[in-house]
């Protein structure tokens, strides 16, 4: 695999691309200082450094609140956010029309299996961390394999995009213990110049180089400029385990911008005001006793006296000094309230349609997504395309590769997002269908409606509009016909009594034979009166 630019190793290429990332990395750290300092610390090497806590907690609360709502909309619990749909035109081309119900039944089984894989995984935990990095730093890299979802913050990877925004190169940097590598590879490294036993005592930097060639991703790992054996991999771009996300995308830039960056002015102002009030309140709370130097009361005697002690002195020799500037804080408090109100609106802390319940409905997910879309200015739509669809295709690929699901024809079956903004159109179709049925029933009456309308098809369309599987739920025409015949037989038995059990009328075969043995009527030209 060849590298772009002058770098001959993954480490060299990483150093080249790192300079272009420095500006975005610096902005991400500044945003982290005002929200969650431990998320993107100043130093990412060595022992854990002391992290300065902000004077306000609105930033941290806003990031966690927005990340929680985004997670609720992107990966809703116990609710399928996708649907495997059939291309009717492609089905017609293949001459398989009329098999929609059977194919749809199989697709529902695959959907259930795929949702079970998502529910038992740790993807939601990792995705919550990734969303916080997106909100604060604007960038995050996901690596989805059978072992789970791994998150790379901005400080752990560099990337290069084309003019359209497609990923061309990705390089990750990790530190591992030498014992994690094979002894053969360690011996290979030791043979290189300038690498002695002392150099091998600390952690080693591992670089993973991912490059796009046509419609595939190729990757391998390197350490000390040497390729690690057994680390080669390749995958189609559309089902690649490497998913690079941006929160706010700007054309021509390799990295995205964080959401916190847009509201950093309010956060800086709030931080300064809260610091001033806290320090001022501490000064105001300080109480100092003053003793008249010309009086008979001595300061040392007063200071050493325990509670309730009796000492000689004059009360007029002692006075108390306090700041008494509490009223001057009113202007600061008023400014803080206005800033907090704006931040609560921006980070969706004051509004929510989410119920505190174990199970949520698709309508709630749609309403939450609509709220996110209107408030964030299209950010949710970006995450739907760059995360949900890629994540779903990768999960489906893993399910097929493991043998738990059959390989689906790409032209015939396509995944679609049915919750959130992508599912609003399906909701409108449902509302229009309900309105149409209600209008016809009121205008023409139920009898006329049943005469001209296919009730079975209407029920199926209503179920499909909300993603309900109708298999074994809605009765087929054959089942309805059998129940009607059984009901007619039961009514006949009730009318004729037990003697009707042996009647040919209850046996279609006997009834047909009986009808065939009846004498034929001859028209003699006479008129019946």
Convert the pLDDT of each residue in 215-224 to its tens digit. Answer: 999 999 999 8
Q: What is the pLDDT of residues 284-303, one digit of tens each?
A: 777 788 888 888 888 888 88
Instruction: Write out pLDDT tens, residues 471-487.
Output: 667 777 777 888 888 88
Give 526's pLDDT tier (boundaries 50, 70, 90).
very low
List the one residue out of 376, 272, 341 whose CA is nearest residue 34.
272
Structural domain spans, the chain: 10-262+354-397, 264-346, 477-516
Q: How far is CA 158 from CA 129, 199, 252, 287, 413, in A?
A: 19, 26, 16, 55, 35
Q: Name the residue among 420, 423, 419 with its Cα closest to residue 371.
A: 420
What number is the average pLDDT over the span 317-326?
76
Quote the pLDDT of residue 127: 95
Tens of pLDDT along 78-95? 777 887 877 766 666 666
DSSP state of 229: T
Tens digits of residue pLDDT in 264-290: 999 999 999 999 888 888 777 777 888
| Cβ neighbours of 1 (radius 10 Å) | 12
The pLDDT-based confidence of 467 (bands split at 50, 70, 90) is: low
**pLDDT value at residue 4:** 47
Does residue 5 surpass a pLDDT of 60? no
The count of residues in the chain is 529
- Which band of pLDDT confidence, cut at 50, 70 and 90, is reported for residue 155? very high
Using the predicted structure, report yes or no on whether residue 460 has a pLDDT greater than 90. no
pLDDT of residue 298: 82
Q: Give residue 160's pLDDT band: very low, low, confident or very high (50, 70, 90).
A: very high
More confident residue, 328 or 465: 328
Residues 48, 50, 52, 53, Cα dihedral to 10°: 70
3-state secondary structure at position 381: helix
Contacts of 328 (CB under 8 A, 6+ apart): none
In the predicted model, is pLDDT for residue 387 greater than 70?
Answer: yes
221 sits in which H/E element? strand 216-223
**408-453 pLDDT, tens per residue?**
777 778 887 776 555 544 455 667 778 888 888 888 888 887 777 8
The proportion of the chain whose per-residue pLDDT surpasses 70, expressed as a percent, equals 76
Which residue in this structure is represented by tokens 């009898």?
447
Return the structure tokens found at 143: 């690596």
Q: Average per-residue pLDDT in the chain? A: 80
Both tokens assigned to 403: 């043998």
Residue 378 CB-half CA count within 13 A: 2
Tokens linked to 518:
């009846």
Residue 221 Cα to chain centre, angstroms: 29
Q: Using pLDDT thresholds of 50, 70 and 90, give the confidence band for residue 244.
A: very high
Q: Which two tokens stand for residue 329?
A: 């804080």
Average of pLDDT values for 30-47? Answer: 83
Residue with tokens 């084309």: 162
Q: pLDDT tier at 497 (50, 70, 90 boundaries)?
A: low
Pairing of β 318-321 and β 216-223: unpaired
User: Where does the pLDDT of residue 528 fall: very low under 50, low under 70, confident under 90, or very high at 90 and above?
Assistant: very low
Residue 523 has what pLDDT?
A: 45
- Give per-residue pLDDT as tens, 166-206: 999 999 999 998 888 888 888 888 777 666 666 666 788 99
Yes or no: say if 264 and 137 are a contact pair by the CB < 8 Å rule. Answer: no
Binned at pLDDT 50, 70 and 90, residue 318 comes out as confident
**Among 141, 117, 115, which Cα is nearest to 127's?**
141
Per DSSP, helices labelled H in 407-476 are 424-444, 446-452, 455-465
150-179 b/e (C-beta count within 10 Å ≥ 16 → b): ebbbbbebbbbbeeebebebbbbbeeeebe
Q: Give this prediction's pTM.
A: 0.75
* Run of H or E residues at 145: strand 139-145
């Amino acid at each position: 695999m060849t590298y772009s630019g002058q770098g001959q190793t993954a480490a060299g290429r990483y150093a080249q691309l790192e300079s272009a990332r420095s500006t975005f990395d610096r902005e991400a750290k500044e945003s982290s200082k005002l929200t969650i300092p431990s998320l993107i610390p100043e130093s990412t090497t060595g022992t854990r450094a002391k992290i300065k806590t902000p004077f306000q907690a609105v930033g941290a609360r806003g990031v966690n609140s927005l990340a929680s709502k985004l997670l609720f909309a992107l990966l809703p619990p116990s609710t399928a956010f996708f649907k495997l749909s059939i291309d009717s035109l492609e089905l017609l081309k293949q001459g398989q029309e009329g098999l929609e119900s059977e194919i749809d039944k199989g697709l529902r089984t695959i959907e259930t299996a795929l949702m079970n894989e998502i529910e038992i995984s740790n993807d939601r935990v990792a995705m919550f961390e990734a969303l916080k990095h997106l909100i604060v730093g604007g960038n995050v890299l996901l690596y989805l394999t059978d072992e789970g979802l791994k998150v790379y913050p901005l400080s752990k990877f560099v990337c290069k995009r084309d003019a359209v925004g497609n990923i061309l190169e990705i390089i990750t940097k990790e530190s591992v213990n030498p014992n994690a590598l094979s002894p053969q590879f360690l011996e290979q490294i030791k043979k290189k110049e300038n690498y002695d036993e002392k150099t091998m005592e600390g952690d080693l930097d591992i670089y993973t180089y991912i490059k796009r060639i046509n419609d595939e991703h190729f990757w391998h790992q390197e350490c000390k400029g040497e390729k690690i054996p057994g680390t080669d991999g390749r995958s189609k771009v559309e089902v690649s385990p490497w998913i690079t996300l941006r929160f706010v995308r700007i054309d021509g830039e390799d990295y995205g911008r964080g959401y916190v960056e847009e509201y950093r002015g309010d956060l800086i102002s709030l931080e300064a005001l809260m610091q001033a009030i806290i320090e001022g309140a501490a000064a105001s709370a300080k109480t100092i006793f003053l003793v008249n130097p010309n009086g008979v009361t001595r300061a040392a005697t007063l200071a050493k006296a325990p509670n309730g002690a009796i000492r000689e002195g004059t009360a007029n020799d002692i006075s108390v000094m306090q700041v008494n500037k509490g009223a001057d804080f009113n202007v600061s408090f008023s400014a803080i309230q206005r800033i907090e109100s704006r931040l609560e609106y921006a980070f969706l802390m004051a509004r929510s349609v989410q119920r505190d319940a174990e199970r949520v409905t698709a309508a709630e997910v749609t309403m939450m997504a609509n709220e996110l879309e209107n408030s964030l200015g299209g950010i949710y739509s970006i995450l739907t395309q760059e995360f949900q669809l890629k994540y779903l295709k990768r999960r489906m690929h893993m399910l097929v590769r493991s043998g738990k699901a059959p390989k689906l024809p790409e032209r015939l079956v396509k995944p679609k997002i049915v919750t959130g903004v992508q599912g609003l159109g399906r909701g409108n179709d449902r509302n229009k269908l309900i309105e149409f049925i209600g209008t016809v029933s009121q205008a023409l009456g139920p009898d006329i409606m049943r005469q001209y309308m296919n009730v079975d098809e209407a029920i199926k369309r209503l179920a499909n509009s909300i993603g309900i599987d109708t298999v074994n739920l809605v009765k087929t025409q054959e089942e309805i016909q059998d129940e009607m015949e059984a009901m007619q037989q039961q009514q006949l038995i009730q009318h004729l009594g037990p003697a009707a059990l042996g009647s040919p009328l209850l046996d279609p075969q006997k009834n047909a034979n009986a009808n065939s043995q009846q004498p034929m009527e001859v028209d003699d030209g006479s008129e019946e009166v």
